[in-house]
Amino acid sequence: MMKDIATPQRTKEILNKYGFNFKKSLGQNFLIDTNVLRNIVAAADITDETGVIEVGPGIGALTEQLAKRAKKVVSFEIDQRLLPVLDDTLQPYENVEIIHSDVLKADIQGTIDQQFEGVEDLMVVANLPYYVTTPILMKLLEEHLPVRGIVVMIQAEVADRIAAKPGTKEYGALSIAAQYYATAEKVMTVPGTVFMPQPRVDSAVLRLTIREEPAVAVQDEAYFFKVFHACFANRRKTILNNLVHNLGPKEKKVEIEAALQEANIDPKRRGETLSLDEFGKLSDALLKRL
C-alpha cells in the first residue's frame, strides 16, 4: 500500500525525484497533513456518487483523498511541470482526470458536460493559490454552474471577509458578491505549518453552499453588483457620498437621495451596515432613476 502523498517525507521524495522548485508566481503551497485534507473532504460531504472539480492539484495530495471517496475527480492544473508528477502520484486512481489549463480561461460548463455525464451531485473542492482566490471563486459563482457547493482552502483573512455579516469590519463587496449566490461558513482555521513551503499567514477552509435562487431578487444583476461596489468604494464615506461619486453622474444627487428614501435607507449610513436585502431594494430603486 502506497503511503499518502500528504506527508512531509513523501512530499520531499516526490519533489526531489522530479527536481521540482516552487514557483512563487503560482502561489504554490502544498499540503503535508493528511488530517487536514480529510477534514476538507468531510466538509464537502463527498460520496461515491459525487463528481468533483478541483483547481490546482499540485502533486495530488488533496486529489488523492478526493479520489478515494468520489465517483470522479477532474482537476485543472496550470503548471505544465506538474503533469508528469501527477501522472506518477495518481497512477493508482483510475477515476482522476487532469486538465492542463488555467481555470480562469477554461470552459468549466463544457468540461462538466464532457466529463460528468450522468453525475447528479457535483462539488468544487480545492486548495486555492492565494493570489487568484477571488477571481476563481467569482468565476465559479457567476457562471451558475450546476454544483452543490464549493469547499476551498484559502487565506483566513479572505475567508473571514466572504463569510462576514453586516456591521462588521470584514463585511464588504466580496461578502455580498459571494453571499448573493451562496451561504458561506468558515469550517476551520489552518496554521501555516501544514504547508510546504510555509506561508506567512494562516489559512482557512471555507464552505459555500449554492443557493437554489440568489439571496435577493433584483431586476438587473450586473447593476446590483455595480451598486454595492460603489457603496464600498471608500469605506469611510456615507452611502450617499459613495453613490454620488462612484455611480454618477454627480448631478443626479437628487435622484440618488430619492432612491435611498424609497428603499428606506438613511443616506448617512455606511455600506457595511446594509444587508443584502437592503442592497437589493436600493439597486432596484436606483435603476429606475439613473
pTM of the model: 0.94
60 is in an annotated binding site: no
pLDDT of residue 130: 85
Answer yes or no: are the C-beta atoms of 103 and 136 closer than 8 Å.
yes
Positive or negative: CA dihedral 131, 135, 138, 140: negative
Q: Report DSSP letters for 269-285, one per residue.
A: S-GGG--HHHHHHHHHH
Q: Which residues 6+ apart lie within 8 Å of 230 measured at CB?
A: 242, 243, 246, 247
Q: Report DSSP letters for 81-101, one per residue.
A: GGHHHHHHHTTT-TTEEEEES
Domains within the chain, CATH numbers bracketed = 8-210 (3.40.50.150), 221-289 (1.10.8.100)
Answer yes or no: are the C-beta atoms of 153 and 203 closer than 8 Å.
yes
Q: Which residues 6+ apart lie within 8 Å of 17 measured at CB?
A: none
Q: How far is CA 14 from the centre of its chain?
A: 28
Give residue for cell 455600506. 271
Q: Which of 254, 263, 239 is nearest to 290 (CA)?
A: 254
102 is in an annotated binding site: yes
Mean pLDDT by 10 residues, the chain (290 residues): 85 92 77 95 98 96 97 96 96 97 97 97 95 94 96 96 96 96 97 91 96 96 96 94 88 92 97 97 94
The count of other CB atoms within 10 Å of the CB of residue 8 is 11
242 is in an annotated binding site: no
pLDDT of residue 8: 93
Query: CA-CA distance, 207 to 150, in Å (whole number)?
Result: 6
The count of other CB atoms within 10 Å of the CB of residue 109 is 12
247 is in an annotated binding site: no
95 is in an annotated binding site: no
27 is in an annotated binding site: no
